[in-house]
Amino acid sequence: MANSAPKHAPPELIEPTPLLHKKGQLLSSKILSSKHFIVFTGAGISTSAGIPDFRGPEGVWTLRKQGRQHEAKSKSVETMKAMPTKTHMALVELQNQGILKYLVSQNCDGLHRKSGILPEMISELHGNSNREYCRTCSKEYLRDFRAVAPYTKTVKDHRTGRKCTEPNCNGVLLDSIINFGEYLWEDVLESARSHAKKADLCLVLGSSLTVPPANEIPETVGRKKKGDLVICNLQETPIDFLCGEDMRIWGKTDELMEMVMKELGLEIPEFILKRRLVVKVEGDIEKERLSVRIGGVDVDGRTPATFLQSVKLEGNRRPAKVDPFVIGFRMDNLGEEINKLKLELEFMGHFNEPNLVVEHEVDWESEDTLGREVMYFLDYNPLTGEWKTERGQ
């Protein structure tokens, strides 16, 4: 599809603020009256985070066509260090309020999931650069790094070089990216189509709507007799004719969503990086052959999530540097506070997260101490640089 991009991108249009506000008011009223509201997002919602789009004047494919791809890279922000935009966070709040019924995205940057969109609420049609899966058992893994194959031989070779850690599996891990010429994930596409059939309102944010079959999702809603299609994009799209004139919005998605949220009486929440940590003590107390296992999980409590570089147990010299992190210890190494395992966590640090010490309290006389998984909720505010920790039940 890069070859299909024009050398000179179509012009970007921004309508006057009063007109944008008027359309934002109308959109807000449609959202409130809708029964099944869905949103379709493209690369345009991530540009304010420093991630370039594809077909804009400074888009990846536009610059590549002009022989300026290196310049594009120099101006962009590393995807892993990009923070979710106001548009991302507005969608999270609409989800949490029960207003947004489903989200369909063409983006692979992982910002929707990082922002707080639940996995069951989104179809990532073209994959997620932070998600990989096992070819043998289909186990998924979320990573706080780019989990994308090097594609040194062919774009169809999705092997990332890692192996599945499920017991008795050791299968090959593959990235989840859909490259051009490949079929979309059937279940992901079917879920998007199902919600499009139910939808009475679809809002497109930051997409040129030129890539099939993804662009069929908003088109399905736009062609309904009782369906409204709203498109907010700086450039024209092939299905603009399915919008009413008052519902074709020429503007930046952040500005529109700020207006819409204000009309709805909702605040756009600040981005908080949320992590879930599972700690489990195993072994034989009498023989003092003990170990503590530490690992991250996704919001479902099951999908492994790698966001740590190392874990160090106070009283032990060497930190564990391989995920899942397992540290062997003896009780006499714990010092006076024998009922506390002080775990120092070192993060990937994309948002300059400082190390965090989690004090895992244990009751050695309790029967369920060994083998019981305890979850910790770790919230990090990138603006203040502070962690908040809460132990689960």
pLDDT at residue 60 in the model: 43
- Residue appearing with tokens 């989200």: 103
Q: What pLDDT is stored for residue 71 in this prediction?
A: 52
Task: Check 88, 126, 195, 350 and give the catalytic one.
Answer: 126
Q: Which of the listed residues 215, 242, 264 is the one where a domain comes to its end?
A: 264
Q: For the chain, give the percent of residues with pLDDT over 70.
A: 92
| Helical H segments across the chain, by residue range | 17-33, 60-65, 69-75, 86-96, 111-115, 186-198, 216-222, 253-264
Mean pLDDT of 88-108: 98
Is the pLDDT at 368 greater than 90, yes or no? Answer: no
In a domain, 83, yes or no: yes
Condensed to tens digits (0 to 9), the pLDDT of residues 150-173 reads: 998 888 999 999 999 999 999 999
User: Based on the domain organization, do 326 and 381 belong to the same domain?
Assistant: yes
Q: 164 labelled as ligand-binding?
A: yes
Count of domains forming the chain: 2
Least confident of 25-29, 107-111, 335-339, 359-363: 335-339
Amino acid identity for residue 383 in this structure: L
Helices 253-264 and 86-96: crossing angle, nearest 10°?
A: 30
Rounded distance, CA 257 to CA 87, Å? 6
Residues 22 and 53 reside in one and the same domain: yes
Q: Which residues form the domain of 299?
A: 273-391
pLDDT of 391 reads 96
Which of the listed residues 245, 264, 283 is the one where a domain comes to its end? Answer: 264
Q: Provide the pLDDT for residue 228.
A: 97
Q: Quick one: 92 and 233 in the same domain?
A: yes
Residue 245's contacts (CB-CB under 8 Å, 6 or more residues apart) are none
| Residues 205 and 354 placed together within one structural domain of the fold | no
Query: How many residues are present in the chain?
Result: 393
Same domain, yes or no, for 218 and 288? no
- Same domain? For 97 and 211 the reply is yes
Q: How far is residue 170's CA from residue 190's CA, in Å, rounded to a whole number?
A: 30
Report the CATH number that the domain containing residue 26 is assigned in CATH: 3.40.50.1220
pLDDT digits (tens, 9 = 90+) for 139-155: 999 999 999 999 988 88
Indicate the pLDDT class of residue 1, thresholds 50, 70 and 90: very low
pLDDT band of residue 331 (cuts 50, 70, 90) is confident
Residues of the chain by 3-state class (helix, strand, coil), percent to 5: 25, 30, 45
> Are both 67 and 204 inside the same structural domain?
yes
Would you say residue 335 has pLDDT above 80? no
Question: Tell me, what's the pLDDT at 230?
Answer: 98
Convert the pLDDT of each residue in 45-86 to its tens digit.
999 999 985 454 454 434 444 455 545 444 457 899 999 999
- Range of weakest confidence among 41-55, 247-261, 302-316: 41-55
Beta strands in the chain (DSSP E): 37-41, 100-105, 122-124, 131-134, 140-143, 159-163, 172-175, 201-205, 228-232, 248-249, 273-284, 289-297, 305-306, 308-313, 325-329, 340-347, 356-361, 373-381, 386-391
At 269-282, the pLDDT tens digits run 999 999 999 999 99
Of all residues in the chain, the percent with pLDDT exceeding 90 is 81
CA-CA distance, 72 to 54, in Å (whole number)?
10
Tokens representing 302? 């099951």
Q: Is residue 154 part of a domain?
A: no
Lowest mean pLDDT among 71-80, 246-255, 296-305: 71-80
Q: Is 108 labelled a binding residue?
A: no
Tell me whether residue 21 is one of the annotated catalytic residues: no
* Predicted local confidence at residue 67, as pLDDT: 52
**Does the structure show a pLDDT above 90 at 189?**
yes
The stretch 89-116 carries a mean pLDDT of 98
Please tell me whether residues 237 and 301 are part of one structural domain.
no
**pLDDT score recorded for residue 10:** 78
Task: Give the pLDDT score at 50.
Answer: 93
What's the pTM value of the predicted model, to 2 decimals?
A: 0.91
73: Cβ contacts below 8 Å, ≥ 6 apart: none
Query: Domain of 336: which CATH number?
Result: 2.60.40.1970
Q: Give 143's strand partners.
A: 306
